[in-house]
């Protein structure tokens, strides 16, 4: 998934519970909102926002249909639509028969994560797992390719040295690794991919245009680590593989966190842009890169302003409407406009409120969990994060703004999921609708924002109707991409004939 540099510090625990919000020491001025032009302006801003963000059934249908159409256009030819529809080269998914010790490396931000998993075949499945997270020094994010990959390989080597107990490498085997690499790559096979460009604050020299798997394999060799990459995967693809290992009905995976993306299982004969591609199963996983979708989305002046000031104007519009990186910022922009009406928060506009991204999605999520009469937690967050002193009425208005933006985001995400399911059903009659189909979900936004999650489910139910939607199971798959990468390393192992 593509995200701007500012999102490198990913939203980990995307929401904090109300019990962890410390009450601020201030006593808010309980001045009533003045009557007159200011109130009219605030009401007008809120009414207009709610109208422009509305997602009634016809809007959701249009978004779902457009998603399905853009998927087909992206599969027909590279550049055929906003959706890149990238071939993952994952033709062999885990079956449950996999045995042995496998590693995973997840590189997607200012930390990298290493994981090992001992697989025991169909009877024992996952016997044990262990994981560690390593921070990447700032200077390596703008250093040379060799320096960065040597640091990662060194971390991997130290982690591998700690193998013990339930983790046993079978005799005669080298260690194999699933490499989750969440930067733009042009994948050329299951175990190779050319880096297009670094994002998320990385400016490493000497890697663009090179095979990132070769870079890592060479670094591991320099570190004296007998390990080789057998699968290069996107984090969304890893989530699908990890979930499908436990539940064969998983057909789609979606990440809703700081950024967003979706992938799904596609028939190889339904990919016109790759007519020669064959696989034993007749299927592969397609990485949609759906954050770039833009057709038919209900947008406001606040979305357009945020997009124009972003580092990638005109791009990733769906992501900017539904993902955790942006929801809080949209709310801040709306609240700032209301503050400029000179009546919501008094006559002055706090400097903090004028600072982009000072209100983040964890803040709007936490505010929505406040059910107290005086909305004290809402008042504390507004004061601590945006410098706003507020009365109860002002807090209620802010909550309406939060709910409007979260509702639009959740319902649009739900429509996107239905669009993927519609496309699959059209090409694989009876394979999706009418039978149990699982959508694996990961990411802090989905996991930690109950209102957002509820709005997403509501949209799916409205679009499909009660009978069909009962068969569509949306399941949380926490941290699925890490173990999924290890499982894909196993499914594509050169030792798989031993399983």
Is the pLDDT assigned to residue 410 strictly greater than 90? yes
Q: How many folded domains does the chain comprise?
A: 2
Query: 210, 233, 256 — which closes off a domain?
Result: 233
Same domain, 24 and 136: no
pLDDT exceeding 70 applies to what percent of the chain?
89
Q: What is the mean pLDDT of residues 470-479?
A: 89
Per-residue confidence (pLDDT) for residue 18, from 0 to 100? 37
Domain assignment present for residue 487? The answer is no
Per-residue confidence (pLDDT) for residue 433, from 0 to 100? 86
Is the pLDDT assigned to residue 441 strictly greater than 50? yes
On the 0-12 / 13-18 / 19+ scale of CB atoms within 10 A, 414 is: buried
Per-residue confidence (pLDDT) for residue 250, from 0 to 100? 94
**Catalytic residue ranges:** 200, 235
**Residue 498: pLDDT band with limits 50, 70, 90:** low
Instruction: Provide the 8-state DSSP code for 452.
Output: H
On the 0-12 / 13-18 / 19+ scale of CB atoms within 10 A, 289 is: buried
Alpha-carbon distance values, 319 to 136, 261, 292 (Å) = 26, 8, 7
Domain assignment present for residue 490? The answer is no
Same domain, 417 and 287: yes
Domain assignment present for residue 109? The answer is yes
**Residue 300: pLDDT band with limits 50, 70, 90:** very high
Query: 233, 263, 289 — which closes off a domain?
Result: 233
Same domain, 108 and 152: yes
CA angle (377, 382, 386) in 5-degree steps: 155
Per-residue confidence (pLDDT) for residue 32, from 0 to 100? 37
Q: pLDDT tens digit string along 448-464?
A: 999 999 999 999 999 99
Q: pLDDT tens digit string along 308-339?
A: 998 889 999 999 999 999 999 999 999 999 98
Comparison of pLDDT for 356 and 274, the residue scoring more: 356
Q: Is 62 left (phi over 0), alpha (psi -120 to 50) or beta?
A: alpha
Is the pLDDT assigned to residue 16 strictly greater than 60? no
Comparison of pLDDT for 477 and 17, the residue scoring more: 477
Same domain, 203 and 294: no
Same domain, 156 and 299: no
Q: pLDDT tens digit string along 140-187?
A: 999 999 999 999 999 999 999 988 888 888 777 889 999 999 888 888
Per-residue confidence (pLDDT) for residue 3, from 0 to 100? 42
Same domain, 302 and 418: yes
Our CA dihedral for 243, 246, 252, 255, rounded to 10 degrees, sits at -20
DSSP secondary structure string for all residues of 341-400: TTSSS-SS--TGGGSTTSS-HHHHHHHHT--STT-HHHHHHHHHHH-----HHHHHHHHH
CB-hemisphere CA count at 13 Å for 462?
A: 19
Same domain, 143 and 250: no
Domain assignment present for residue 376? The answer is yes
Per-residue confidence (pLDDT) for residue 343, from 0 to 100? 67
Q: What is the mean pLDDT of residues 382-398?
A: 93
Per-residue confidence (pLDDT) for residue 427, from 0 to 100? 83
State how far the Cα of 207 lies from the Cα of 215, in Å rounded to an integer: 8
**Residue 364: pLDDT band with limits 50, 70, 90:** very high
Q: Is the dihedral of CA 3, 180, 95, 163 positive or negative?
A: negative
Q: Phi and psi for 377 in degrees, rounded to 5?
A: -65, -40
Instruction: Provide the 8-state DSSP code for 154.
Output: H
Per-residue confidence (pLDDT) for residue 269, from 0 to 100? 87
- As a whole number of Å, the end-to-end CA separation of the chain is 33
Domain assignment present for residue 336? The answer is yes
Mean of pLDDT over the chain: 87
Domain assignment present for residue 70? The answer is yes
* Parent domain of 329: 1-9+16-88+246-478
Q: pLDDT tens digit string along 201-238?
A: 788 999 988 999 999 999 999 999 999 999 999 889 99
Per-residue confidence (pLDDT) for residue 495, from 0 to 100? 74
Per-residue confidence (pLDDT) for residue 463, from 0 to 100? 98
> Which is nearest to 493 in space by CA: 174, 105, 265?
174
Element (H, E) at 181: strand 175-181
Which CATH number belongs to the domain containing residue 172 in this structure? Answer: 3.30.420.40
Per-residue confidence (pLDDT) for residue 432, from 0 to 100? 85
User: What are 195's strand-pairing partners?
Assistant: 185
Query: 198, 233, 268 — which closes off a domain?
Result: 233
State how far the Cα of 253 lies from the Cα of 438, in Å rounded to an integer: 9
Domain assignment present for residue 491? The answer is no
Same domain, 163 and 268: no
Least confident stretch, 344-348, 435-439, 490-494: 344-348
Same domain, 156 and 176: yes
Is the pLDDT assigned to residue 124 strictly greater than 60? yes
Comparison of pLDDT for 110 and 499, the residue scoring more: 110
Same domain, 37 and 129: no
Same domain, 442 and 327: yes
Q: What is the mean pLDDT of residues 401-421?
A: 98
Q: What is the mean pLDDT of residues 438-443?
A: 94
Q: What angle do the packed helices 392-427 and 450-471 form, to 10 degrees?
A: 30
Per-residue confidence (pLDDT) for residue 499, from 0 to 100? 57
Per-residue confidence (pLDDT) for residue 354, from 0 to 100? 93
Domain assignment present for residue 261? The answer is yes
pLDDT exceeding 90 applies to what percent of the chain?
64
Same domain, 131 and 163: yes
Which CATH number belongs to the domain containing residue 381 in this structure? Answer: 3.40.367.20
State how far the Cα of 480 lies from the Cα of 156, in Å rounded to an integer: 20
């Amino acid at each position: 998934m593509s995200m701007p540099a500012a999102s490198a510090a990913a939203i980990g625990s995307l929401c904090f519970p109300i019990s962890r919000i410390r009450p601020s020491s201030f006593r808010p001025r309980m001045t009533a909102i003045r009557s007159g032009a200011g109130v009219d302006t605030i009401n007008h801003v809120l009414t207009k926002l709610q109208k422009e963000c509305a997602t009634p059934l016809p809007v959701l249908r249009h978004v779902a249909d457009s998603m399905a159409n853009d998927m087909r256009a992206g599969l027909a030819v590279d550049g055929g639509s906003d959706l890149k529809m990238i071939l993952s080269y994952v033709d062999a998914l885990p079956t449950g028969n996999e045995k042995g010790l496998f590693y995973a490396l997840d590189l997607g931000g200012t930390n990298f994560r290493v994981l090992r998993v001992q697989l025991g075949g169909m009877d024992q499945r996952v016997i044990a797992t262990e994981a560690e997270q390593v921070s990447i020094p700032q200077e390596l994010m703008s250093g040379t390719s060799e320096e960065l990959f040597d640091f990662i390989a060194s971390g991997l080597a130290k982690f591998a040295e700690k193998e013990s107990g339930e983790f046993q490498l079978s005799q005669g085997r080298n260690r194999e690794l699933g490499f989750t690499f969440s930067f733009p790559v042009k994948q050329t096979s299951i175990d190779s991919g050319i880096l297009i460009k670094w994002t998320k604050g990385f400016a490493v020299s000497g890697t663009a245009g090179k095979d990132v798997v070769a870079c890592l394999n060479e670094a591991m060799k320099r570190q004296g680590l007998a390990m080789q990459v057998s699968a290069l995967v996107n984090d969304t693809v890893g989530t699908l593989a990890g979930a499908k290992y436990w539940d064969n009905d998983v057909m789609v995976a979606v990440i809703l966190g700081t950024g967003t993306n979706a992938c799904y299982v596609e028939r190889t004969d339904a990919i016109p842009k790759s007519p020669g591609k064959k696989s034993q199963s007749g299927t592969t996983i397609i990485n949609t890169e759906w954050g770039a979708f833009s057709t038919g989305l209900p947008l406001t002046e606040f979305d357009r302003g945020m997009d124009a000031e972003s580092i990638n104007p005109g791009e990733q519009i769906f992501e900017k409407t539904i993902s955790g990186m942006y929801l809080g910022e949209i709310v801040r922009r709306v609240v700032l406009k209301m503050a400029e009406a000179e009546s919501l928060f008094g006559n002055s506009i706090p400097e903090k409120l004028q600072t982009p991204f000072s209100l983040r999605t964890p803040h709007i999520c936490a505010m929505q969990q406040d059910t107290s009469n005086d909305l004290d937690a809402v008042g504390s967050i507004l004061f601590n994060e945006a410098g706003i002193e507020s009365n109860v009425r002002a807090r209620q208005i802010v909550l309406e703004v939060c709910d409007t933006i979260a509702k639009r985001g959740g319902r649009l995400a739900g429509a996107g999921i239905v669009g993927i399911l519609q496309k699959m059903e059209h090409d694989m009659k009876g394979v999706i609708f009418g039978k149990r189909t699982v959508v694996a979900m990961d990411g802090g936004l989905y996991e930690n924002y109950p209102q957002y999650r509820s709005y997403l489910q509501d949209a799916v139910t409205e679009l499909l109707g009660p009978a069909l939607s009962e068969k569509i199971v949306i399941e949380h798959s926490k941290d699925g991409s890490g173990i999924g990468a290890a499982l894909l390393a196993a499914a594509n192992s050169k030792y798989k004939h031993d399983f």
